[in-house]
Amino acid sequence: MKVLGIETSCDETGVAIYDEKQGLIANQLYTQISLHADYGGVVPELASRDHIRKTAPLIQAALAEANLSAQDIDGVAYTCGPGLAGALLVGSMIARSLAYAWNVPALGVHHMEGHLLAPMLEERVPAFPFLALLVSGGHTQLIRVNGVGDYQLLGESIDDAAGEAFDKTAKLLGLDYPGGAALSRLAEKGNPDRFVFPRPMTDRPGLDFSFSGLKTFAANTVAQHPQQDEQTRCDIAYAFQAAVVDTLAIKCQRALHDTGLKRLVIAGGVSANKQLRQRLGELMTKLGGEVFYPAPQFCTDNGAMIAYAGFLRLKAGEQTGLAVEVRLRWRMSELAKIS
């Protein structure tokens, strides 16, 4: 079975093909970073229009990369939500139309399930059950994963997600959008002893997150140093990143203790952060467990994770009807369990 996957939930256009026997055989990605950089964030209308321009050429490129024709595709998967309405509609309409024209089933995929299953694209994959930390620009969640579709939400952000806080703090430091990765590079040169930021919600029970106050603390620190030299910016970046990483690690350790699980998966855009990977790797070594994460190119939004998640559900007999529907908000607990 060969599944074409299309991802258009936000500011990346991703198209990939997953083959049941060979694995991932094509992966095409176009990022809109330069398009939105002047605005300091994603402009939904511009994102939608760019998806219209890029999706069809990327589908053709993916077919060429895999040396396939349309007749070789057995199913089409696409991101149905969560995401930006217009961007989701572009991918959904194109995917559903292709599936109808090619007379193959189509399936709307949950964007975060795609991220959750992205580590399965690697050679070393986690066995069920495991704890998953999904950490991106729009989500920060801790989930017990018993199987595909068998998800128990343990905790989530009650305000800003970790990735959103990264980007907003980067903007305070004068970094271009998206600033999360640039902030991490600044942090590498920071003095760990100059600033100490709070570790929000770690002094109380529970597994929920809150990063809005941490962002405000960063804003106040920046305001107290209006004449920022390069070292001050690096020091603030270090303190902010250390606070986020510590907070995520503390909550993961708490969740692992509560569940008794020994396998941890981290996925989503922030899972590419080197300090986070190092800290969670050290944590799992200390606890005698294992940590799993996707390759860096599969941490951010991509078509490969949608093709793989879609393959699993299409193979199980799921498919979406002719009506095109997108879901801006969609809890993973609503997904069906598959064996």
Binding positions for substrate: 134-138, 167, 180, 273
Whether residue 228 sits in one domain with residue 105 = no
Whole-Å CA distances, 307 to 199, 243, 328? 37, 35, 20
Is 122 within the bounds of a domain?
no
CATH number at residue 218: 3.30.420.40
Tokens of 82: 């969560």
Q: What is the mean pLDDT of residues 155-179?
A: 92
CA–CA dist 187, 241 (Å, integer): 7
Binding positions: 111, 115, 134-138, 167, 180, 273, 301
Total number of domains in the chain: 2
CA–CA dist 116, 126 (Å, integer): 11
Q: Give per-residue pLDDT as tens, 282-308.
A: 999 999 999 999 999 999 999 999 999
Cα–Cα nearest to 131, from 5, 306, 251: 251
Q: What are the φ/ψ torsions at residue 338 (nearest 5 degrees)?
A: -130, 150
pTM value is: 0.95
Whether residue 286 sits in one domain with residue 210 = yes
Whether residue 328 sits in one domain with residue 276 = no
Whether residue 76 sits in one domain with residue 202 = no
In 201-284, at which residue ranges do the beta strands (DSSP E only) sit?
263-267
Is 39 within the bounds of a domain?
yes
Say if residue 260 is exposed, middle or buried (CB neighbours under 10 Å; 0-12, 13-18, 19+).
exposed
Q: Give per-residue pLDDT as tens, 238-284.
A: 999 999 999 999 999 999 999 999 999 999 999 999 999 999 999 99
Whether residue 265 sits in one domain with residue 145 = yes
Is 123 within the bounds of a domain?
no
The edge-to-edge listing of strands for the beta sheet with 263-267 is 150-156, 140-147, 130-135, 263-267, 290-292
Whether residue 254 sits in one domain with residue 157 = yes
Whether residue 149 sits in one domain with residue 76 = no
**Structural domain of residue 305, as residue ranges?**
2-117+298-334
Whether residue 305 sits in one domain with residue 227 = no
Whether residue 6 sits in one domain with residue 72 = yes
Is 94 within the bounds of a domain?
yes
Is 339 within the bounds of a domain?
no
pLDDT of residue 218: 96
Binding positions for Fe cation: 111, 115, 301
CA–CA dist 176, 125 (Å, integer): 35
Contacts (Cβ under 8 Å, ≥6 apart) of 37 = 176, 177
Q: Give per-residue pLDDT as tens, 89-98.
A: 999 999 999 9
Is 49 within the bounds of a domain?
yes
- Cβ burial 275-302 (10 Å sphere, 16+ → b, else e): bbbebbeebbeebeebbbbbeeebbbbb
Whether residue 163 sits in one domain with residue 86 = no
Whether residue 284 sits in one domain with residue 149 = yes
Spatial contact of 68 and 104, defined as CB atoms under 8 Å apart? no
CA–CA dist 52, 202 (Å, integer): 44
Q: Give per-residue pLDDT as tens, 33-53.
A: 999 988 888 999 999 999 999
Is 286 within the bounds of a domain?
yes
Whether residue 196 sits in one domain with residue 105 = no
Is 140 within the bounds of a domain?
yes
